[in-house]
Amino acid sequence: MAVHLRLLLILTGLTGIHSITTVSKVSVKSGKSISIPCLYDSQYTNHVKYLCKGYYFSSCSYAVKTNQRNSRTFSISDDKNQRIFTVTINHLTETDSGYYWCAVEINGGADVGEFFHLSVTRGTPRLYVDRQEIKAFIGDKITINCFHHNSGGMKWCRLGGSCVTKSSGSIDGISVTINVEPPNVFTVTMSGLRTESSGWYLCVQGDFQMPVHLTVTQKPTTTTTATTTTTTTLITTTPKLVTLTAGFINTSTNVQGEQQRVSLDLKSLIIPLSLLIITSKRSFTVSPLEETKKASSAMTEKSYAQTDVDVVYSSVVTMRQKSIRKVEANDESVVYSTLA
């Protein structure tokens, strides 16, 4: 019937068999979806494309057009670079079985179209694949399993191009191998893919075809992010310990030549010192205990002036005699030493 219909259309000039290329017969399980590629000539690049259903092209009914919105059941897209428009039929039921036409609208003339037969079955389809859409990178190798429950020769073809009919061959310079084991499946392997390998291919057995779309892209480059580690060193400055050891007046009976001694433990720090000498030439009477208190008070006042260092004082020991005698300073000068 299909051969008779094609011959009739060729004779009447109602089909553009050399203008559009598509599948001839596909089998799909009920509830699934199917995408059908339609390859057209470059002269139809800017024309409206559509899918219609019916036995006769002249009376088929529109299903979807490129200049109209898609529906829930039918959708269409046009790749003008590849010169292929693709129609997709979703949620198939047995009532969707029948003849369809890939067609191009011709302004002021007869439209051109090419038909295919869709068979929707409850059981296992006669020929099917795991998935119709495959994505790969340049240089990759892919494998496609074509499951079949049909008789006839098996081959792998590019839509509108050449086919591999034996166990090995090539399509557009790409290596192709076909493995027919195990039964009811033949496996197609394509190696060394290029961007030019992108397009539509067909699993073929007997009268049935199953289209498979391949997209080959450049593999993304791996970007290494440099991690910069910043080490912060906290330098803690510990004030130098300054130890002042003061020897005070020994309150013995001989109070002449009493000595004050200042010892600074600066480790690596040198602190300039200045000596303030106070000379008193007047005569006065003072007890050794009062003299010690005055010296201690003077040292304490000077120590508060050292605000930028820690000061540690040694213990002040007052040596006492059993009896304390008043000492006449007379005309001798009493010299006190203090830290500036």
**In this predicted model, what pLDDT tens digit does every residue of 277-303 receive, in sequence order?**
333 344 334 444 455 445 445 444 444
Distance CA 91, CA 32 (A): 5
**For the chain, what percent of residues have pLDDT higher than 70?**
60
Residue 102: band (very low, low, confident or very high) from pLDDT cuts 50, 70, 90: very high
The arithmetic mean of pLDDT across residues 307-332, rounded, is: 45
Residue 325: band (very low, low, confident or very high) from pLDDT cuts 50, 70, 90: very low
Residue 340 has pLDDT above 70, yes or no: no
pLDDT for 290:
52
**For the chain, what percent of residues have pLDDT higher than 90?**
55
Residue 317 has pLDDT above 80, yes or no: no
Distance CA 97, CA 81 (A): 31
The DSSP letter of residue 18 is T
Among 211, 155, 216, 158, smallest CA distance to 188 is for 155
**What residues have CB less than 8 Å from 301, skipping those under 6 apart?**
none
pLDDT for 336:
52
Instruction: Report whether the peptide linkage leading into residue 183 is cis, meaning its omega lies within 30 degrees of zero.
Output: no
pLDDT for 18:
56
pLDDT for 252:
40
Distance CA 23, CA 202 (A): 8
pLDDT for 14:
43
**In this predicted model, what pLDDT tens digit does every residue of 110-131 receive, in sequence order?**
999 999 999 999 999 999 999 9
Distance CA 3, CA 22 (A): 15
Residue 331 has pLDDT above 50, yes or no: no
**In this predicted model, what pLDDT tens digit does every residue of 238-279 receive, in sequence order?**
444 444 344 433 434 443 444 444 344 444 444 444 443 333
pLDDT for 261:
43
**In this predicted model, what pLDDT tens digit does every residue of 103-115 receive, in sequence order?**
999 998 999 999 9
Distance CA 21, CA 4 (A): 18
Residue linked to tokens 């893919």:
193
Q: Which residue has the higher pLDDT, 2 or 83?
A: 83
Residue 210: band (very low, low, confident or very high) from pLDDT cuts 50, 70, 90: very high
The arithmetic mean of pLDDT across residues 299-312, rounded, is: 45
- The pair of structure tokens assigned to 240 is 């130098």
**What residues have CB less than 8 Å from 256, skipping those under 6 apart?**
332
The arithmetic mean of pLDDT across residues 45-52, rounded, is: 97
Q: Which amino acid is at 170?
A: S
The arithmetic mean of pLDDT across residues 134-152, rounded, is: 93
Among 123, 102, 126, smallest CA distance to 113 is for 102
**In this predicted model, what pLDDT tens digit does every residue of 183-204 receive, in sequence order?**
899 999 999 999 999 999 999 9
